[in-house]
Amino acid sequence: MTVERAVQRAISARPFNALITETFDTALNHESNALQRGLKPFTFVAKDCFAYQGVPVTCASKMLENFTAPYTATILQRLVENGGSLLGKANMDEFAMGSTSTHSHYGPVKSSITAGNLDNDWRIAGGSSGGCAVAVHSGFADVALGTDTGGSTRNPAAFHGIVGFKPSYGTLSRYGHIPLANSFDVPAIFANTVADCERFYGIMAGVDSYDSTSLDPLPRPENVDLTKLTIGIPKQYVHPMLSDDTLDAWNNAAKLLESTGCKIVPVDLPHTEYSIICYHILAETDIASNMARFDGVSLGHRASDDAPSFNELLATSRTESLNDTVRRRIFVGNYYNVRENRGKYFQQAAKVRRLIKQDFDAAFAQVDVLLTPVTSHSAPLYSEVRAAKFKSRQRQDDYFTQPANMAGLPAISVPMGTCSNGFPLGLQLIGNYLEDYRLLAIANFLHELHTNSA
C-alpha cells in the first residue's frame, strides 16, 4: 500500500499502542527513493529491538529511552533497498521478555482483534512481538519484522489470525538486533499470506559478513509433491491446557491434509516437558551476560550523579530503569553460573538441549513436517491474564512454540479460522533445519486447503 494510506491507518490505530516511534517522514523518503529506482514500494514496521540509524531503539525499556541507533540492522537495510518503507518501531515486552506485550515502558499493546472500548480491558496482543502483529492485522504494514526466541512471533500471529514465520536459526542475520538469548534469537516475519512471508524472507535471508552465525537456507526444492507428505503429530503436544476449539482445529487440519493423500503419523518427542526449563536456564545465562552492557555509563539511563561510587551508580541506574521481569532473569541467570554451582545448571541444560534436538532428528527421519498447536487457545483478556499472574502464564504459553527454538528449526503459525467466540486461532508447522522454503510451500498448501474448505 502507499505510505500515505498506511499513515492514515497507523494514526487510526494509535489506540492499540502498536508503535513506540513513528517514522512517517522516513517512510515517505523510502517510498520516493524506491519509486525513483523503479521498485514497487511496500510498508513495514520493525520491532523496537532492531537498529535503524538515526532512529531511537528502545527495546520498550526506560533504560534505552534516549538511545539513538548509530547504525542499521542488515535485514532492515535489505528490506529498504528492495522497496521497503519503514513506518515505525513496534511496541513489545521490555527486552523481549514476555508473551503478552503488556510489560512495556510505553504501555501495553492492545490487540486490534478487541471489539469495543479499549479503556479498561482488551484482548492481549501476545508477545513479545505484539506491536508487529497489530501493525499487520490493523492494516498499516504489509509486513512486520519481529523476533522469535521462544515463540514471540508465532504466538501473536496466531492470536491475530495472520501468518507468523520463524525461519531456521542463522538464516536471517542478527546484526543490528539487540540480543536476548544469542543461540535462540531469530528475526521473524509477520504477513497476511504465506506467499508474502516467502517473498520478504527471500529479500532478507542469507549470509551476512557482519554476523558470523549467519548461513543460507537450502534452495527452493524443485517439485514438492504436497499430496504425498508424511505429517507428524507429536504425542507430547496433546496437552490438558488445550481448549476444545484448538483441539478441533488441530484435528480438522490433520483430516484436511489426509484427504489429499498425506499420511498422518504420531511421533514421539520424549524430552518435550523439559524444554521450557532448559530454555530458561540457557536463556537466562545469556540474558545475564547480554544485559551487562546496559550500564548507564557508555549508553542508556543514568541515575542522578550524586552516587558515591561507580558501582552504586550502576546499581541505581539499572535497578530504576529495568523492569521486574528483566531484573529477575538477570539475577537468576547469574545464580546459575556462580562459581559455587560449578556450571552444573548450564551444562545439564545444554545436554538436555542436545537430547531435544535428537528427538526432532529422529522424528524428521520419519516425517516431512510436524503439525502442532501454537497456543492453548485464542487471545485472552488482559484482566484474565493479570489475575492469573503473569509469571506462570509466561511459562505455559511457550509450551508449543519454544522447542523449535531449542533445535533452531523453522516453524510457522498459519491462521486456522476462529474459536467459538470468534477470535482467531493458529496452528503450527515445524520443518527440518534449513528447509525453510519447503516448509513455506507446505504451509501455503495447508492454508489454501483450509481457506477452500470454509
324 binds another protein (CB under 8 A): yes
Which of 152, 168, 321, 378 is catalytic? The answer is: 152
Q: How far apart are CA 100 and CA 110, in angstroms?
A: 9
Region of 112-120, 143-151, 152-160, 340-348 interacting with another protein (CB under 8 A): 340-348
The interface region with another protein, picked from 1-9, 334-342, 422-430, 439-447 by CB under 8 A, is 334-342
| Cβ neighbourhood burial of 20 (10 Å; 0-12, 13-18, 19+) | buried
Q: How many residues bind another protein (CB under 8 A)?
A: 94
Distance CA 64, CA 60 (A): 8
CA distances from 269 to 10, 218, 274, 275, 365 (A): 43, 25, 11, 10, 13
* Residue placing its CB nearer to another protein in the complex, 197 or 257: 257
Catalytic-labelled residue, pool 85, 99, 101, 128: 128
Check 47, 89, 110, 166 and give the catalytic one. Answer: 47
- Minimum separation from the CB atom of position 406 to another protein (A): 8
Residues 81 and 92: their CA atoms lie apart, in Å, by: 26
What is the per-residue burial (b if ≥16 Cβ within 10 Å, else e) of 306-343? ebeeeeebbebbbeebbbebbeebbebbbebbeeeeee
Nearest-approach distance from CB 13 to another protein, in angstroms: 30
C-alpha cell at 154: 508465532
How far out from the chain centre does Cα 11 lie? 24
Is the distance from CB of 200 to CB of 191 less than 8 angstroms? yes
Stretch that binds another protein, among 22-30, 147-155, 280-288, 420-428 (CB under 8 A): 280-288
Instruction: Answer yes or no: 47 catalytic.
Output: yes
- Looking at the Cβ atoms of 228 and 235, the one nearer to another protein is 235
In the complex, the smallest distance separating the C-beta of residue 14 from another protein, rounded to whole angstroms, is 28
Out of 12, 66, 227, 451, name the contact with another protein by CB under 8 A: 66
Task: Annotate each residue in 349-388 with x if it binds another protein (CB under 8 A) or - if it does not, as one string.
Answer: xxxxxxx-x-------------------------------
Grid coordinates of 324: 521486574
Contact by Cβ (8 Å): 425, 245? yes
Judged by CB under 8 A, the residue of 40, 222, 305, 454 near another protein is: 305
Q: Which three cell numbers stand for residue 48?
A: 523496537
Q: Which of 14, 220, 235, 293 binds another protein (CB under 8 A)?
A: 235
Among the listed residues 68, 73, 66, the one whose alpha carbon sits nearest the alpha carbon of residue 51 = 73
- Whose cell is 540492522? That residue is 73
The residue within the footprint of another protein, chosen from 195, 292, 362, 388 (CB under 8 A), is 292
Minimum Å gap between C-beta 117 and another protein is: 32
Instruction: Please give the distance of CA 364 from its chain centroid, rounded to a whole number.
Output: 24
Nearest approach in angstroms of CB 309 to another protein is 4
Q: Which of 103, 123, 174, 280 binds another protein (CB under 8 A)?
A: 280
- 104 sits near another protein (criterion: CB under 8 A): no
Query: Closer CB to another protein, residue 110 or residue 166?
Result: 166
Which part of the chain contacts another protein (CB under 8 A), choosing from 106-114, 140-148, 244-252, 444-452? Answer: 244-252
260 part of the interface to another protein, by CB under 8 A: no
C-alpha closest to that of 216 among 226, 204, 205: 205
Binding flag, residue 51, another protein (CB under 8 A): no
Q: Is 152 a catalytic residue?
A: yes
List the strands of the sheet with 163-166, edge to edge: 19-22, 84-90, 42-47, 143-147, 187-191, 163-166, 411-418, 424-430, 369-373, 230-234, 263-267
**Considering the rule CB under 8 A, would residue 334 count as an interface residue with another protein?**
yes
For another protein, give the closer residue by CB, 110 or 450. 450
In the structure grid, which three cell numbers stand for residue 192, read together?
Answer: 497476511
Q: Which of 3, 163, 194, 278 is in the footprint of another protein by CB under 8 A? A: 278
Any idea which residues carry the catalytic annotation?
Answer: 47, 128, 152
